[in-house]
Structure 1
Amino acid sequence: MQSPRVLYSYLRSHWHVYAFAILSITVANVVQAFYPRVLGQFTDTLQTGGINREAIVDASLKLLFIGIAFGLLAGLGQYIIMRLGRKFEFVARGKLFTRFTTLSEHYYSKHGVGKLLSYVMNDVTSVRESISMGVNQTTNAVILIVSVLVMMTLSSIPVYLILVCMIPLLFIPWVVVLFGPRVRGRSLKVQESLAKMTETAEEQFGGIRVTKKFAVEPIMRARFGRTVDTIVDNQLRLVRLSSMFQALLPFLGGLSLIIAIAYGGYLTIQGSITIGSFVSLTLYLRMIVNPLQQIGNVINTMQRSRASLERLNNMLAVQPDIQESPDAKALDAASPELRIRGLSFSYPGAGQEALRNINLTVPHGKTLGIIGKTGSGKTTLVKLLLRVYEPPHGTISIGGLDVRGATLESLRTFIAYVPQDGFLFSTSIRDNIAFSDRSSGMETVERSAKQAQIYDNITDFPDGFETKLGERGITLSGGQRQRTSLARGFLKGAPILILDDSVSAVDAVTETNIIDNLHSQRRGKTTIIIAHRISAIKHADEIVVLDKGTIVQRGTHEQLMKQDGLYASLYAIQEEGTRYAEGKG
């Protein structure tokens, strides 16, 4: 389903405000068009010798009225349009952010953060400029040109003189047709190169610590420099084309003025027109030159913004891979038994299955341990359970309801997921722990921190739980970040808690304390522990061993140790590693 065209829907909802602003600018320019006529009439009065105090006062008051009326009406219209442009910027960015939050992990794996930021920053700004400056200048230019032409025909200026002066202006449509598509094409290349630069900058900022540790700053500067060079080349091509286009329109207007001075001056000498008519004609044509330049600016802006608008509309038309069914139901917390039946799954574009014929039942209130080598499918299983990727119909159910028939909100509220590299936001530790419920009291936050064995570390900080974390929680060590993320999962208190190798960065004593707290605090709730270390799962009610996407063993720790299989081999390797580390220590 296509999303509404972002600019069209905005203009349609605010058309009455735009109409009022355009009307205000229109009246302002109609009033301004009387300026040459008043001066022309005053010139004729001077020529005939009929000048007196009353004539001077009359002309002065008329010009004063024109100036004040034009300033007030044009200023009001421009303010309204500029304000609407800023509001569009706010609305468009809100729609983009909302769209970003609906997209799946698969989309983000193909598109960098920098590219997404370029939509929010560069493209939205470009479109905003087109509906602010563009509407202002277009209304000014069109109305002023029309008003001038009408006033010229109503004046004493001969029609044939007006037509001769207008000959150069007939080439304007040809110039627009010739340059317009070229400007738009080069604008699109500029926007794409800006998106690439933003993506490169974001990546390098995020990895600046690695860059410094490896002392490869010159390489990174050169890489970023190549991206900037591409932008410069594209922008210079656009500037050259735009400058030529913008110069041609006022040049044609200037030719009209030259014809008016030459031919109109000749007719004035011959006595065919009055000096006042000649003055009016030159002023009218001079007033046309500036609107022609504005039209050039507008067309350039519109062509650039059209490229940005296409990108925005395409972005907003992207549909999430994971969508709720029309008859989706909320999960029932009363019976959260987890069942997996015949689950096989391949990642998009992958040549082999990541999981194959998985069958599991996790009764309510039990703990399931999952272990296996790297790449065996452990995290894939969790992603399917959370519908980060879409599992096949009928393969995963909670409380008897297929997860594909559950509302996404209830599914992800029902499950607390703690990944190995839990993301921390650059706010306080308290806010990070209470992420799922910002209304949580301090007692609840502290209790969760104690369960995750991070409480003592936090209280050692000068600001305690109000300590502000750096980007991605860089203020904390790896183990502290992991335990803070654990505290966040504990505080949620969801019926199902999934720990995805979430104690890999802590020492053995701390791990034991966390697992003990887990068993005592989550009685009656389901827990799934994915780990590489057997010590984290040995007390689970059931343990499954994954290898190459298939369950190769299952049972309790004691049962699996009696079998001559992968589990016992992993245990032996880890025990040997532990003894070696202790002996070396």
Structure 2
Amino acid sequence: MQSPRLLLGYLRSNWYKYLLAVAAITVANVVQSLYPRVLGDFTDTLQAGGITREAIADSALKLLAIGLAFGLLAGVGQYIVMRLGRRFEYLTRGKLFVHFTGLSEHYYSKNGVGKMLSYVMNDVTSVRESISMGINQTTNAVILILSVMAMMLVSSIPYSLIIVCMIPMLAIPFVVVLFGPPIRERSMKVQESLAKMTETAEEQFGGIRVTKKFAVEPIMQNRFGRTVDRIVEAQLRLVRLSSLFQALLPFLGGISLIIAIAYGGYLTIHGSISIGSFVSLTLYLRMIVNPLQQIGNVINTMQRSRASLSRLGSLLAVQPDIRESKQAKPLRKGASDIRIRNLTFSYPNSDQEALHDLNLTITPGQTIGIIGKTGSGKTTLVKLLLRIYEPPEGTIAIGGDDIRGATLESLRTHIAYVPQDGFLFSTTIRDNISFSNRETPAEKAFHAAQKAQIYDNIMQFPDKFETRLGERGFTLSGGQRQRTSLARGFTKDAPILVLDDSVSAVDAITETDIIDGLREERRNKTTIIIAHRISALKHADEIIVLDKGTIVQRGTHEQLLAQEGLYASLYAIQEEGTRHGEAKGPAERESGRRN
């Protein structure tokens, strides 16, 4: 099980620090337990009429020493525990992030970003609180109760009185057993509700522009409100049970105190015990009430922590669908020939084939175009090439080596992939273009921007390449984002470049300039261009036409036009659309290509 190992491994590696903290807190509470005895002795001295200035000063100094020692030792112990708890939080969040980066795309298709954030924020915080507050308060409570019991036993208080006063506290284990499981169950539901709220909030913040454009703010507010209502309901159910549990423990301590006052007062009146012993007894029992409250807090926190640990353990137990074999080796440096043999593939939990019996050979330096209707398998082929999804063994090879036997780092370093909706980060334009290597020289980034036809746009910004982009690059227009992503692909300068409909948001003139720059930039390097517009593929050495996951046509642009088939049909439709566009006025055409 991952969940216990996550916590126990950390505790084991820092056992000596926790031991030092527990020792400091233990001594602090032993010292604190002397407080009632000092007051009891002072009361007996006062009753006997032997009070003097020296006796008062002596008692005051003892109480001062007890207070200083307790404050110093307890403070040191709590600091160590809290510091270790924060470090656990830091290390665990780092571990989760590393785990997230290793998970496959299939996992993210089923789990939203908000759920991931809930693990990192809510669950890790819950576990951190359990080890920080748990160790502090448990040590405080247990040691103080034991110290108080020991002090009562060595005092002049009759054992019979002590036993009678402690009877109500024998019910504490039964209360813990009764309340523990339902508190843990309700804690789990609270954590799940928080995860759902985080997921909903992330989605709505990400889509706020769409929400505003459709003027549906009230609808989204109601949707979010329903999510929050479910959290409130789950939390109130937990609070009601937790509050009842936390009230019962000090209530039992209060009953003990009542018994002490009634029975102890009776014994004091009849001279069986001294007034000082009676004062000491009531103070001892009063000191026990607070630890009982702390035990309740700790048990509540531990139950919530167990729910969070269970969730974290389940997450860390998830294995990525794509894993390297122990014998994995890096791809041969510079290899750019691709061989695809009898490739048939279906997505997980799907009976329908996304690709069927594909065979394709791409030689070094060749430019291949891939076209087809939506859902024909174009992007699926790229995902298999990058091992985002696992291809069948022996179906895809680069440089003669099966990609399933290659290290993931070497495979994905070997390929520069530019998707249609290239994600831009909230940093500078230059950082985004140089994403594959932050040490990229400025001249190389500028050159890539020029080839991607984004350089002039960047130079119009006040901060030029140091312009900071908003979330997901929304500072730029759609076409500018796409061309910035394209420049990122050029900067990587990998042996294989894959453009997945990467010029769909630019006008025809800019597309032509980009393609011309691409041909010059990628001379003697392998390039795969996936597009819906034939104009982006005309120059390709070979064009592959996909339909329902199968290659239905292949050849050069001229060869495919000479055949009757899907390619010629797509070309005719696009030419008709182009002629229709040319019938518009200049202003309309310019408006259509501003992005």
Query: When the two structures are superposed, what TM-score results if normalisation uses the length of structure 2?
Result: 0.97
Post-superposition offset of 1:2 = 5.6
Report percent identity of matched pairs.
78
Post-superposition offset of 1:335 = 3.3
Could you say which residue in structure 1 is the equivalent of 2:118?
118
- Is 1:573 matched up with 2:576? no
Distance in 1 of aligned mates of 2:451 and 2:306: 55
Distance in 2 of aligned mates of 1:522 and 1:17: 58
- Is 1:247 matched up with 2:247? yes
> Which residue identity is paired with 1:468?
R
Sort the Cα spacing of 1:335 and 1:293 in 2 relative to 1 into closer, same or farther, 3 A: closer
Query: When the two structures are superposed, what TM-score results if normalisation uses the length of structure 1?
Result: 0.99
SS at match of 2:554: strand
Could you say which residue in structure 1 is the equivalent of 2:39?
39
SS at match of 1:567: helix
| Count of residues paired in the alignment | 585
Post-superposition offset of 1:334 = 4.0
> Which residue identity is paired with 1:412?
R
SS at match of 1:183: helix
Residues 120-135 of structure 1: pairs in structure 2 closer than 5 A:
120-135=120-135
2:268/2:275 contact within 8 Å kept:
yes
Once the two structures are superposed, residues 321-353 of structure 1 have per-residue CA deviations (whole angstroms, 9 ceiling, x without a partner) of 100000000011243210000000000111210
Residues 389-468 of structure 1: pairs in structure 2 closer than 5 A:
389-468=389-468
> Which residue identity is paired with 1:297?
N
Post-superposition offset of 1:475 = 0.7
Residues 95-174 of structure 1: pairs in structure 2 closer than 5 A:
95-174=95-174
Distance in 2 of aligned mates of 1:336 and 1:122: 46
2:3/2:312 contact within 8 Å kept:
no
Residues 97-496 of structure 1: pairs in structure 2 closer than 5 A:
97-496=97-496
Could you say which residue in structure 1 is the equivalent of 2:80?
80
Could you say which residue in structure 2 is the equivalent of 1:27?
27
> Which residue identity is paired with 2:344?
S
2:157/2:273 contact within 8 Å kept:
yes
Distance in 1 of aligned mates of 2:313 and 2:37: 47
> Which residue identity is paired with 1:184?
R
Distance in 1 of aligned mates of 2:503 and 2:403: 28
Could you say which residue in structure 1 is the equivalent of 2:590?
none
Could you say which residue in structure 2 is the equivalent of 1:518?
518
Post-superposition offset of 1:382 = 0.1
2:336/2:398 contact within 8 Å kept:
yes
SS at match of 1:356: strand
Once the two structures are superposed, residues 179-205 of structure 1 have per-residue CA deviations (whole angstroms, 9 ceiling, x without a partner) of 111111111111100100000000000
Distance in 2 of aligned mates of 1:492 and 1:127: 41
SS at match of 1:357: strand
Post-superposition offset of 1:228 = 0.6
Distance in 2 of aligned mates of 1:206 and 1:88: 31
SS at match of 1:546: strand
2:335/2:495 contact within 8 Å kept:
no
Could you say which residue in structure 2 is the equivalent of 1:8?
8
Post-superposition offset of 1:134 = 1.5
2:448/2:488 contact within 8 Å kept:
yes
> Which residue identity is paired with 1:573?
I
2:334/2:495 contact within 8 Å kept:
no
Distance in 2 of aligned mates of 1:335 and 1:423: 27
Distance in 1 of aligned mates of 2:499 and 2:274: 92
Once the two structures are superposed, residues 531-560 of structure 1 have per-residue CA deviations (whole angstroms, 9 ceiling, x without a partner) of 011111111111110000000011111111
SS at match of 2:125: helix
Could you say which residue in structure 2 is the equivalent of 1:558?
558
Distance in 2 of aligned mates of 1:118 and 1:335: 42
> Which residue identity is paired with 1:277?
S
Sort the Cα spacing of 1:552 and 1:2 in 2 relative to 1 into closer, same or farther, 3 A: farther
SS at match of 1:348: coil
Post-superposition offset of 1:4 = 7.4
Distance in 2 of aligned mates of 1:325 and 1:26: 51
Distance in 2 of aligned mates of 1:202 and 1:318: 23
Q: Which runs of 5+ in 2 are unaligned?
A: 586-595
SS at match of 1:226: helix
> Which residue identity is paired with 1:120?
V
Post-superposition offset of 1:3 = 8.2
2:4/2:309 contact within 8 Å kept:
no
SS at match of 1:55: helix
SS at match of 2:391: coil
SS at match of 1:439: coil
> Which residue identity is paired with 2:404?
R
> Which residue identity is paired with 1:254?
G
Could you say which residue in structure 1 is the equivalent of 2:90?
90
Post-superposition offset of 1:54 = 2.5
Distance in 2 of aligned mates of 1:449 and 1:387: 28
Sort the Cα spacing of 1:368 and 1:417 in 2 relative to 1 into closer, same or farther, 3 A: same
Could you say which residue in structure 1 is the equivalent of 2:52?
52
> Which residue identity is paired with 2:284?
Y
CA RMSD of aligned residues (A): 1.0
Distance in 2 of aligned mates of 1:245 and 1:269: 36
Distance in 2 of aligned mates of 1:334 and 1:505: 31
Distance in 1 of aligned mates of 2:499 and 2:334: 22
Distance in 2 of aligned mates of 1:4 and 1:376: 46
Distance in 2 of aligned mates of 1:425 and 1:255: 62
Distance in 2 of aligned mates of 1:431 and 1:282: 69
**Following TM superposition, where does structure 1 have runs of at least 4 consecutive aligned residues deviating by more than 4 angstroms?**
1-4
Once the two structures are superposed, residues 493-540 of structure 1 have per-residue CA deviations (whole angstroms, 9 ceiling, x without a partner) of 000000000001111111111111111111111000000111111111
Distance in 2 of aligned mates of 1:392 and 1:382: 14
Which shows bigger deviation, 515-524 or 497-506?
Answer: 515-524
Distance in 1 of aligned mates of 2:375 and 2:227: 35
Once the two structures are superposed, residues 426-471 of structure 1 have per-residue CA deviations (whole angstroms, 9 ceiling, x without a partner) of 1110100000111112111100000100000000111111111111
SS at match of 2:476: coil
Distance in 2 of aligned mates of 1:284 and 1:425: 61
Distance in 1 of aligned mates of 2:57 and 2:193: 60
> Which residue identity is paired with 1:545?
V
Distance in 2 of aligned mates of 1:118 and 1:386: 29
SS at match of 1:528: strand
Distance in 1 of aligned mates of 2:2 and 2:72: 42
Q: Which runs of 5+ in 1 are unaligned?
A: none
Distance in 1 of aligned mates of 2:90 and 2:521: 45
> Which residue identity is paired with 2:440?
S
Distance in 2 of aligned mates of 1:452 and 1:325: 37
Distance in 1 of aligned mates of 2:309 and 2:259: 41
Distance in 1 of aligned mates of 2:333 and 2:249: 70
